[in-house]
Amino acid sequence: MARCPQILSVHLFLLRDNEIFLQLGKNTSYRDGCWSVIAGHVEANESAINAMIREAKEEAGIIIGPKALILVHVMHRFEN
């Protein structure tokens, strides 16, 4: 039996002085006009930490190192 391919995503909560960095979706064709944290899919053979670093740069132009990140939560969702 073949395995179900899983799509993994990361959500990056950037915190400073009790504030969370949010970005306004614009011209992305996904939730335009909505505020969100930095997020995106994990690429093949990419760690969650490296995906967060890449998404921060791609989506917000923020350069962040792996030592500044803490993996807090992993969630698995299954459709019925």
Map out the domains of the chain as residue ranges.
9-68
Query: What's the pLDDT at 27?
Result: 82
Other C-beta atoms within 10 Å of 55: how many? 22
Average pLDDT, the chain: 87
pTM: 0.80
pLDDT, tens digit, 9 for 90 and up, residues 22-63: 999 888 777 889 999 999 988 988 899 999 999 999 999 999
Per-residue three-class SS string for the chain:
CCCCCCCCEEEECCEECCEECCEECCCCCCCCCCEECEEEECCCCCCHHHHHHHHHHHHHCCCCCHHHCCCCCCCCCCCC
